A and B are shown apart, each in its own frame.
Chain A
Amino acid sequence: MGHRVLIVDDHPSFRATARVLLEAEGFDVVGEAADGASALTEAGRLQPEVVLLDVQLPDIDGFDVAARLTGNDDGPVVILVSSRDSSDFGPLVMRSGARGFVPKAELSGDRLQELL
């Protein structure tokens, strides 16, 4: 079985497509969340190894969610995703504690695997 993944994004169409894509490539998608608060709750409950986290969420900013998730040593690996380019965010990605950034359109199992 592959890595246990939690997908966090406020667009249901992206969550659905990302789930199909990652599951097809051997990942185990254990849950989904539509905003920052439920991402923190679900991460605590499901204990995923990887959190695929959208930057722009309706409540808490993705960078803040990443910082909270990676605050503990046993926290999950956070991969930020966005339909924007990483250059839009400057050094924020690195500072957030996230392992890396993948543009949404380029998401694939291989890209994810490279960062893990």
Chain B
Amino acid sequence: MTSLNRALVAIALSAVVAGGAAAALVVSSEHTPNKGLGIVLGLVTAWAFVGTGLYAWWRRPGSRFGALFTAVGFTYLLGSLTASDDSVVFTIGVVVSNLFFVVFAHVLLSYPDGRLQERWHAWLLGAGYALCVVGPLPQLLWGWTERMQESCPDCPESALLVARNDTLRDALNAVTSVIGVAIVATVLVILIRRWRAATPPQRRGMAPILWSGVAMLVLLGSALGSDAAGISRLTDVLGWLGLLVFASVPWVFLIGLVRSRVARAGAVSELLLRLGEAPGTGTLRARLADALGDRSLQLVFWLEDKGSWVDAHGHPFALPADDDPARGWTAVELEGRRVGAIVHDRTLSDDPELLGSVAAAAGLAMENERLQAQLRARVEELRASRARIVEAGTQERRRLERNLHDGAQQRLVAMSLTLRLAQSKVEKDPEKAVEMLAGAQEELTLAQAELRELARGIHPAVLSDRGLGAALEALAGRAPIEVDLAELPGDRLPEPIEAAAYFVVAEALTNVAKYAHASHATVRVARMNGRAVVEVADDGIGGADPGRGSGLRGLADRVAALDGHMLLDSPAGSGTRLRAEIPV
């Protein structure tokens, strides 16, 4: 037996003992009428609360609801102290006899997890507890009211009696009654607001407790109001009706629980049947929403290769956080492998058994939908990368045009004008003409160099003619930092792979020179297990951002277009390693 179970059994035994003591007190009382009925009603009500509370406590040890519900039963038993013929015990009984009302209001305000949602609710309840204790004091200090004397002529005198003062007592009674009505009305407003803000699954969960609580509070509030107005018969009737509704609360709660269990078991069987009829037809979400009674339910799928969640359209999806008050999620597994998750109203998390059954039933159908979602995610990714490749092509053409226009073309224009000037000077000023021709020669050399660089950027001729090894050697020779070609492929690779590998290395070395503060880089290109593996590592500062600039993303797209992938490992302070793997 667990320590929780032992504690619960001990509490149950305490309730039996306390109930027995209360019954003994009533039996021995000389001023209590209808003893038999009083004992039966009192014990049934108190034990029903304690029993239901302990059951709820055992079911959901993390929730305080069960403990509070149990406390209602115990505080209800305190009322039996008023059966004592000893004036001190009797007086204590009067003071504590109404506490159970406030504990019950506490249950209502903190439903379903036993925690109050607002800080001021605690203040409101504090005021309620205080009023319960202070409320009877006017009678205890300044004498019983006429109604009390009529209903209990043989009750002991108050141990706190100072002197009879009917005026002061009645005035203070009226004040406490008004405050009582105000507290009850505030609790009612909170409960009704909560009902209006609740989602359908939340309403289903809170309905039995909330509505019986509301009914009891309305009757109690009316009884307090009629007491303040001095309508004693109405006060009695309303008080009795309130107690009757109060006594029914545990039973209403239990009946609601059983009904929902039966309904849910039926829903799970129905779900299994319907999933068996037509698996994977795309209506899984609707079927699970029916089974769980949550129209807001969403299905998300786990992509093992990416380590991420996507929705049915293949779009990335962020699961609700553990402390999200509105939404929760339940993982769905198939043969021990995670396939997806059900994202649902948070209230459903109170019933993990039901969620577990539905998740287990949905595993196979979920796997089918997961494959479709995976396909959609892939299509979505391809669409995005295709758009990026087209955009990168346009950008690249724009860049080339600009470079040609601003570079070689301007030099050729200047050269043309200089040659024309030189031509006009040949006869009159031959020395100036020679000087101008030398300037033109210089411009021509620079224009050639710029054109060469540009052509190499488009596609290096040495790559097509002599292969990747030679192209990378040339690239390393031109790099502004020391580059070690640690490994190069012996044989030629297919042309698109060679080109992609070349540009991965070129872009990586450009980034190393620009951002890494490195003195040395190592390049490796190898053929491994049917893949071309390209790796560029440097000894720089690390901390490279994969999202920086369009260069790396463009290369990742280029590599992805060949069914490859690129990884960037760049811990701060430990250099950067860029690795691309392309199937050959």
Residue A24 at the B interface, CB < 8 A? yes
Selected interface stretch from B91-99, B253-261, B329-337, B410-418: B410-418
Contact string against B for A residues 39-56, beta-carbon threshold 8 Å, 1 for contact and 0 otherwise: 000000000000000001
Selected interface stretch from A14-22, A69-77, A92-100: A14-22
Q: A56-B405, A83-B405 are in contact. Are A108 and B420 (CB under 8 A)?
A: yes
Residue B522 at the A interface, CB < 8 A? no
Q: A14-B410, A83-B405 are in contact. Are A24 and B416 (CB under 8 A)?
A: no
Alpha-carbon distance A107/B413, docked complex (angstroms): 9
Residue A68 at the B interface, CB < 8 A? no
Interface of A: prevailing SS = helix
State whether A105 touches B416 (Cβ < 8 A).
yes
| B417 in complex: contacting residue of A21, A56, A84, CB < 8 Å | A21
State whether A21 touches B410 (Cβ < 8 A).
no
Alpha-carbon distance A20/B425, docked complex (angstroms): 12
Chain A residues whose CB sits within 8 angstroms of the CB of B406 once the complex forms:
11
State whether B421 touches A104 (Cβ < 8 A).
no
Alpha-carbon distance A18/B416, docked complex (angstroms): 11
Residue A87 at the B interface, CB < 8 A? no
The smallest beta-carbon distance between B547 and chain A, in angstroms, is 29
Chain B residues whose CB sits within 8 angstroms of the CB of A108 once the complex forms:
420
The smallest beta-carbon distance between A89 and chain B, in angstroms, is 14
Residue B424 at the A interface, CB < 8 A? yes
B411 nearest CB neighbor, chain A only: A13
State whether A21 touches B421 (Cβ < 8 A).
yes
State whether A20 touches B421 (Cβ < 8 A).
yes
Residue B269 at the A interface, CB < 8 A? no
Alpha-carbon distance A105/B409, docked complex (angstroms): 10
B443 nearest CB neighbor, chain A only: A13
Alpha-carbon distance A17/B413, docked complex (angstroms): 10
Interface of B: prevailing SS = helix
Chain A residues whose CB sits within 8 angstroms of the CB of B409 once the complex forms:
83
Chain B residues whose CB sits within 8 angstroms of the CB of A84 once the complex forms:
405
Chain A residues whose CB sits within 8 angstroms of the CB of B410 once the complex forms:
11, 13-14, 83
The smallest beta-carbon distance between B405 and chain A, in angstroms, is 6
Q: A11-B406, A17-B418, A83-B405 are in contact. Are A24 and B413 (CB under 8 A)?
A: no
Chain A residues whose CB sits within 8 angstroms of the CB of B420 once the complex forms:
21, 108
State whether A17 touches B405 (Cβ < 8 A).
no
Chain B residues whose CB sits within 8 angstroms of the CB of A20 once the complex forms:
421
State whether B424 touches A24 (Cβ < 8 A).
yes
Alpha-carbon distance A108/B419, docked complex (angstroms): 12
B406 nearest CB neighbor, chain A only: A11
Chain A residues whose CB sits within 8 angstroms of the CB of B418 once the complex forms:
17
Alpha-carbon distance A21/B432, docked complex (angstroms): 13
State whether A83 touches B424 (Cβ < 8 A).
no
Alpha-carbon distance A51/B414, docked complex (angstroms): 19
Alpha-carbon distance A20/B223, docked complex (angstroms): 109
Alpha-carbon distance A17/B442, docked complex (angstroms): 14
Contact string against A for B residues 376-413, beta-carbon threshold 8 Å, 1 for contact and 0 otherwise: 00000000000000000000000000000110011111
Chain B residues whose CB sits within 8 angstroms of the CB of A105 once the complex forms:
412-413, 416-417
Chain B residues whose CB sits within 8 angstroms of the CB of A14 once the complex forms:
410, 413-414, 417
A81 nearest CB neighbor, chain B only: B413
The smallest beta-carbon distance between A88 and chain B, in angstroms, is 11
Alpha-carbon distance A18/B410, docked complex (angstroms): 12
State whether B421 touches A83 (Cβ < 8 A).
no
Chain B residues whose CB sits within 8 angstroms of the CB of A18 once the complex forms:
417
Among B413, B420, B421, chain A packs the most CB atoms within 10 A around the CB of B413
Chain A residues whose CB sits within 8 angstroms of the CB of B424 once the complex forms:
24
B439 nearest CB neighbor, chain A only: A17
Alpha-carbon distance A81/B410, docked complex (angstroms): 12
Alpha-carbon distance A47/B136, docked complex (angstroms): 103
Alpha-carbon distance A56/B409, docked complex (angstroms): 13
Q: Which A residues are within 8 Å of any B CB, using their own CB?
A: 11, 13-14, 17-18, 20-21, 24, 56, 83-84, 104-108
Q: Given contacts A24-B421, A83-B410, list 9 more A-B pairs with CB under 8 A.
A: A17-B414, A17-B417, A17-B418, A18-B417, A21-B417, A104-B416, A104-B417, A105-B413, A105-B417
Q: Which B residues are within 8 Å of any A CB, using their own CB?
A: 405-406, 409-414, 416-418, 420-421, 424
Nearest 7 CB-CB pairings of A with B: A105-B416, A104-B413, A17-B417, A83-B409, A13-B414, A83-B413, A105-B413
